[in-house]
A = this chain, B = another copy of it.
Amino acid sequence: MSNNSLLNQTHDPKLTSWVESANVSGGDFPIQNLPFAVFRRSDSAENFRGGVAIGDQILDLAAAKDSGVFSGVAQQAIEACAKEQLNDFMAMGKDVWSALRAALSQALATGSAAQNSLAGCLVAQADAEYALPCRIGDYTDFYTSIHHATSVGKKFRPDNPLLPNYKWVPIGYHGRSSSIEISGSDFKRPKGQTKAPTATEPSFGPCKRLDYELEVGIFLGKGNELGQPISIENAEDHVFGLCIFNDWSARDIQGWEYQPLGPFLSKNFASTISPWIVTTEALAPFKAQWTRDMNDPQPMPYLESEQNRASGSFDIQLQVSLETEKMRTANESAVKLSQSNFKDSYWTVAQMVAHHTVNGCNLQAGDMFGSGTQSGPEPEEAGSLLELSNAGSEPISLPNGETRTFLEDGDNVIMKAYCQKGGAVGIGFGFVEAKVLPAE
- Cβ-closest chain B residue relative to A163: B259
Measured in the bound complex, the distance between the Cα atoms of B330 and A204 in whole Å is 58
Measured in the bound complex, the distance between the Cα atoms of B302 and A204 in whole Å is 9
Known: A169-B193, A174-B174. Is A188-B360 also a contact (CB below 8 A)? Answer: yes
Integer count of this chain's copies in the complex: 2
Is A247 in the interface zone, CB < 8 Å from B?
no
Query: Chain B contacts of A367 at CB under 8 A?
Result: 178
Query: Chain B contacts of A231 at CB under 8 A?
Result: none
Known: A169-B257, A261-B262, A297-B201. Is A361-B187 also a contact (CB below 8 A)? Answer: no
- Give the contact stretch, choosing among A25-33, A90-98, A265-273: A265-273
- Cβ-closest chain B residue relative to A185: B226
Measured in the bound complex, the distance between the Cα atoms of B355 and A15 in whole Å is 54
**B265 touching A361 by the CB < 8 A rule?**
yes
Query: Chain B contacts of A138 at CB under 8 A?
Result: 176-178
- Cβ-closest chain B residue relative to A359: B190
Query: Chain B contacts of A300 at CB under 8 A?
Result: 193, 202, 204
Known: A204-B302, A359-B265, A360-B188. Is A257-B178 also a contact (CB below 8 A)? Answer: no
**B169 touching A256 by the CB < 8 A rule?**
yes
**A359 touching B192 by the CB < 8 A rule?**
yes
Is A232 in the interface zone, CB < 8 Å from B?
no
Query: Chain B contacts of A302 at CB under 8 A?
Result: 204
Measured in the bound complex, the distance between the Cα atoms of B260 and A118 in whole Å is 51
Q: Which of A126-177 contact B (CB under 8 A)?
A: 137-138, 140-141, 143, 163-165, 168-169, 171-177
**B359 touching A250 by the CB < 8 A rule?**
yes
Known: A204-B300, A259-B165, A264-B173. Is A253-B178 also a contact (CB below 8 A)? Answer: no
- The secondary structure that dominates the A interface is loop
Is A263 in the interface zone, CB < 8 Å from B?
yes
- Cβ-closest chain B residue relative to A192: B359
- Cβ-closest chain B residue relative to A227: B188
Query: Chain B contacts of A440 at CB under 8 A?
Result: 227, 229, 360
Known: A177-B138, A178-B367, A360-B269. Is A171-B227 also a contact (CB below 8 A)? Answer: no
Is A362 in the interface zone, CB < 8 Å from B?
yes
Measured in the bound complex, the distance between the Cα atoms of B135 and A137 in whole Å is 9
**B193 touching A269 by the CB < 8 A rule?**
no
Query: Chain B contacts of A204 at CB under 8 A?
Result: 300-302
**B188 touching A269 by the CB < 8 A rule?**
no
Known: A250-B359, A265-B361. Is A257-B176 also a contact (CB below 8 A)? Answer: no
- Cβ-closest chain B residue relative to A181: B226
Query: Chain B contacts of A297 at CB under 8 A?
Result: 201
Q: Which of A348-362 contact B (CB under 8 A)?
A: 355-356, 358-362
Query: Chain B contacts of A174 at CB under 8 A?
Result: 173-176, 262, 264, 268
Contact with B along A206-232 (1 / 0, CB 8 A): 000000000000000001001101000
Q: How far is the CB of A226 from chain B (nearest CB, A)?
A: 6
**A261 touching B263 by the CB < 8 A rule?**
yes
Is A191 in the interface zone, CB < 8 Å from B?
yes
Query: Chain B contacts of A141 at CB under 8 A?
Result: 261
Is A345 in the interface zone, CB < 8 Å from B?
no
Is A363 in the interface zone, CB < 8 Å from B?
yes
- Besides A138-B176, A165-B257, 7 new A-B residue pairs in contact (Cβ under 8 A), listed by A number: A137-B178, A140-B176, A163-B259, A178-B363, A181-B226, A187-B226, A227-B440
A-B pairs with beta carbons under 8 Å apart, 15 shown: A140-B264, A163-B260, A165-B195, A168-B193, A172-B261, A178-B226, A178-B364, A179-B226, A188-B227, A190-B360, A191-B358, A192-B359, A201-B297, A265-B355, A360-B440
